[in-house]
């Protein structure tokens, strides 16, 4: 799954990362003075992040400039992509708060942090 991080209004200020690093994005978003580097080379300062959201276009293989219409949303819902994305973002937000006590969790893929949520 893919996540879009927006830092401004221009197209070159939107970055796609893998959902396995989405907790890192939330961590630096919630800590504006922190910096983070993602596996694809994108490096951001928390204060520059304006939004974190699902990147449906990347996930579905659609052009980045494609504007989602009703048929697209119906396809996303039929495939369950919207629910999967929402669940990933909820989990990433929770895991990001664990990083205050355990910063190493930011270097762990999101899918491997599930057991740490139970602690």
Is 118 a residue whose pLDDT tops 60?
A: no
In a domain, 69, yes or no: no
- pLDDT at residue number 90: 94
In a domain, 43, yes or no: yes
In a domain, 92, yes or no: yes
E strand segments, the chain: 2-6, 14-18, 35-37, 43-45, 51-54
The rounded Cα 61 to chain-centroid distance in angstroms is 17
- pLDDT at residue number 34: 94
In a domain, 68, yes or no: no
Is 69 a residue whose pLDDT tops 70?
A: yes
In a domain, 112, yes or no: yes
In a domain, 67, yes or no: no
Across the range 98-112, mean pLDDT stands at 90
For the chain, the domain total comes to 1
Residue 115: pLDDT band (50, 70, 90) is: low
- pLDDT at residue number 10: 87
Q: Which of 39, 45, 22 is CA-nearest to residue 94?
A: 22
In a domain, 95, yes or no: yes
Full-model pTM = 0.88
For 10, the token pair is 């221009």
Domain membership of residue 56 as a residue range: 2-62+74-117
**Integer CA distances (angstroms), 78 to 53, 57, 72, 81, 82, in order:** 20, 16, 10, 8, 9
């Amino acid at each position: 799954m893919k996540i879009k991080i927006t830092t401004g209004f221009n197209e070159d200020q939107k970055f796609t990362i893998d959902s396995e690093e989405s907790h890192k994005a939330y961590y630096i978003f919630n800590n504006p003075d922190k910096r983070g580097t993602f596996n694809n080379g994108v490096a951001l300062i928390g204060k520059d992040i304006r939004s974190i959201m699902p990147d449906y276009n990347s996930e579905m293989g659609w052009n980045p400039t494609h504007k989602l219409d009703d048929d697209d949303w119906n396809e996303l819902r039929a495939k369950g992509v919207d629910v999967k994305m929402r669940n990933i973002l909820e989990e990433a937000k929770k895991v990001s708060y664990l990083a205050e006590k355990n910063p190493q969790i930011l270097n762990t893929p999101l899918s491997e942090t599930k057991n740490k949520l139970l602690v």
